[in-house]
Structure 1
């Protein structure tokens, strides 16, 4: 009995529906407004339903709608968080999408850090609480309003409630000085539905293992359910579980008759409508496609063979191979479950596509493309647990900068930086422009890490990934692949299993360059394990925050995974003109002391290399060191000092780390390492307070004095101890020989 030729062309499909059967309406997206208590502040008690706020009062003058709005004023002299928020908790469902909005008007709003929190202006914030009402996870900030603005709608992005969420917490925020009015608050639930495509509703299908296809707004694992009963009872339902793409076929033949089907996305709390089809092929008919497993590979040898495996429920009877559009079947050795191809001549450098097509006796077909990458002469670069990156086995403690345009590379090289990055290729930037960027870096003796178009990664575009890896992987200035920057955020979400699959593809094609990932939300870090070679923690903030955040992420990723710290060199308190601010370079923070302390704090906690965010990439979104000469000079001096310490930092020897507490509320974080010819101790004052410290170390025993590097002085050592004074956020580097 004959089978189908290709699954995408199902035989004998009749679209005539049975009498009385109507196709269910499919709606991709539905929204509903959740009840926000006193959303327009019209209640007799204007703040009913909202948190208490001594800075908030009802204002009947010119509300956005209704009789009144609420007004919040933060005086210019305030430094703490008093009155900066009005909050309300609203029940939500984990896995669903939500957006918060409010209408906001401002007068005289000026950016100011309050309570050591960066300024937001007048805005709305959405965060997540667990089912007990305890804080669970960060969410999203809307754009802030500064200066004098009329009423405008301000909304967060649409973000997904994380696992364990029970409530959304809406913040009406004025983290700035001045006055903001708030009115007409909304919390919208956005439900995305699965849209069924094939087999069509009411179709007659002569195929006992038909291919089912559906659509969803984003990539999500799906459960395909099939049953002869429209209620899908247990025991009568066939489930194809955790389907990563939007199509699947049942593993076993379906009996002739009417079958109902639906798709459920358990992780996203989304279901499709129910469709049916009539299956007419007998169970004994072979309608099952063969399967072909891709064999993506890095071609280390000039004539490296490639083996592609396949399988079928009966037996594969025909195999054809096409290499880069040329039929090479004659040169292949076909076995029962695999085919082995050995090239007639050496592989040419670059990307090759090997398409293997197989068919069984019933005419069922399948095809699969394997990407093969030949990159001769490429130096292996491996991120180490300590000491930075090994270039051909030699450790190098490297320093990098984000947001560097091609025209800025010369300045970065002159400043002593080793690698750079631009976000062009995290977006639609071409391979050709990336090569030009790498050429410029190479001309100046530095390297770059390059990303991938996030939209293409979200679409699971393996061909795009393979093309980028092959196009850039041979360039000597390529340091590493920047797989994804914050894949956990709702507006650019990539599921962990999808990111792991893309990571495996990159490593299959290029084992010579490390792969980097950053994760924004610490509670999701573990979800992205095994999708990177090195994890970069975003340790932006105070020197104390650098220490705690780095250690928190180290605990989450485990002791064996390389970790590098990203510290900040932009002003978190003063937004740039693109964000409504009017920053004053004279008030730039972090100042010289914090720039140095943050870098050395990351080193003291074990960072394997160091990178700063960011130079600015020509943007006015933030005030960065690029526009503050004194800060840039201080940062360059910090870079110079770290580079002078490279022999110590790169040494593959144990390092001791510990903390001293010389005074109430003051901590000195210490790191030491012994080399054959000397020993070095790094001491960092975590706090903006002065102190005196006496430290004891076995490395000081038998020494009379210690040199304080970069300070042109020495300190006496007695009985293995030295004493020194630390200014606020001070760093001392001691050397004994």
Structure 2
């Protein structure tokens, strides 16, 4: 059971936010990242353990389509059983290479592992190592992981290789040992009040996604979805989870994973995580297609982020609006004239008609996220 994970990072000095061409507010035009190009699949996944072979069927029914099961030192029979259970569902597996093979520099063992499972239909990608930059007593060498990455590609060129990190400033030396960059930061702890962590988390997320952009890596964000048994981590509140979820989407993540299923709470999953997934899943094609830059959005408050996404094969649009402050804000969203005459709905209820000026007024509570449709 892997629960010893350091989740708070030191705030990175010299942080610079990337510019944005999509948020047209006069006070702060460089606050948000540019529109990253994404491609399917956009995964939503759980971390779990290879022994929990009942999880694929349970998770698949809740909109989960990716699992990262910790392999540890389990037998090939248990790995095969988990993969075969996944085969009965649409779920794909980010398969961890046993850490002992990496740590002992057993390149032939790594190649044998890849050959054994590379043709299994459930295997999507290889999970090379978990937080190599903070491995005790010393970090895993970037040169070693580059060597292992090369060995993986010699056996299987078709599947991407993933690495997950917590210390952003340590990532760059590992760039040539991965295709997928993952980042985990779990800011919700006992004694840390709701959203006390938000400024640091947002800046750090923008930093790591900018690095993924520069290095041309797919980016998966790992979001806190657990409470500690013997630690002081708490589950995020519903507002905190939705904020982390949609902040990741708007910032440009190519998928989201949740840590970790066996330390989560069934009631929390049913009331917080799975409803958020259900709400979002229908809009994944719009998110992947990307923001509609031909219809720029203007907002009269610099602390509100609003993005407009065309929904493929329809004449509808998705609007995601996020309040990045601790205060309730009333604001006006102004769209282009090409959308005049349409209506804006929230939870299937009409809230505004876009008359000749193609604008509408709305309100967001502190750190609230709302999804609107323009139809």
TM-score by length of 1: 0.41
**Which residue number in structure 2 is paired with residue 662 of structure 1?**
301
**Deviations 1:616-658 (Å, cap 9, x if unpaired)?**
2xxxxx5x233xx145322111111111112212326766999
Distance in 1 (alpha carbons) for counterparts of 2:131 and 2:297: 31
Among 153, 157, 166, the residue aligned to 1:511: 157
Query: What is the aligned-residue RMSD (CA, Å)?
Result: 3.0
SS at structure 2 position matched to 1:735: strand
State the shift of 1:451 in Å: 0.8
SS at structure 2 position matched to 1:567: strand
Kept after mapping to 1: 8 A contact 2:86/2:92: yes
Change (3 A) 1:460 1:670: farther
**Which residue number in structure 1 is paired with residue 372 of structure 2?**
734
**Which residue number in structure 2 is paired with residue 564 of structure 1?**
220
Kindly tell me the number of residue pairs found equivalent between the two proteins: 329
State the shift of 1:659 in Å: 9.8
Distance in 2 (alpha carbons) for counterparts of 1:550 and 1:699: 34
Structure 1: give runs of 5+ residues left out of the alignment. 1-126, 129-133, 137-384, 389-394, 617-621
State the shift of 1:726 in Å: 0.8
Kept after mapping to 1: 8 A contact 2:300/2:332: no
**Which residue number in structure 1 is paired with residue 110 of structure 2?**
465
Among 78, 82, 97, the residue aligned to 1:452: 97
**Which residue number in structure 1 is paired with residue 318 of structure 2?**
680
Among 392, 398, 414, the residue aligned to 2:61: 414
Kept after mapping to 1: 8 A contact 2:220/2:253: yes
Kept after mapping to 1: 8 A contact 2:42/2:255: yes
**Which residue number in structure 1 is paired with residue 287 of structure 2?**
649
TM-score by length of 2: 0.78
**Which residue number in structure 1 is paired with residue 73 of structure 2?**
428
Change (3 A) 1:713 1:658: closer
SS at structure 2 position matched to 1:396: coil
SS at structure 1 position matched to 2:319: strand
Alignment of 1:240-639 (within 5 A): 386-388=37-39, 395-404=40-49, 405-423=52-70, 425=71, 427-491=72-136, 493-541=139-187, 542=195, 544-559=199-214, 560-571=216-227, 575-576=228-229, 578-579=230-231, 589-616=235-262, 624-626=264-266, 629-639=267-277
Kept after mapping to 1: 8 A contact 2:209/2:253: no
State the shift of 1:473 in Å: 0.7
Distance in 2 (alpha carbons) for counterparts of 1:547 and 1:633: 24
Kept after mapping to 2: 8 A contact 1:604/1:670: no
State the shift of 1:551 in Å: 0.9
Distance in 2 (alpha carbons) for counterparts of 1:713 and 1:566: 34
SS at structure 2 position matched to 1:403: strand
Distance in 1 (alpha carbons) for counterparts of 2:157 and 2:223: 28
Where is the strand percentage greater, Structure 1 or Structure 2?
1
State the shift of 1:443 in Å: 1.3
Structure 2: give runs of 5+ residues left out of the alignment. 1-8, 14-35, 188-194
Distance in 1 (alpha carbons) for counterparts of 2:211 and 2:172: 6
Distance in 2 (alpha carbons) for counterparts of 1:486 and 1:642: 29
**Which residue number in structure 2 is paired with residue 75 of structure 1?**
none
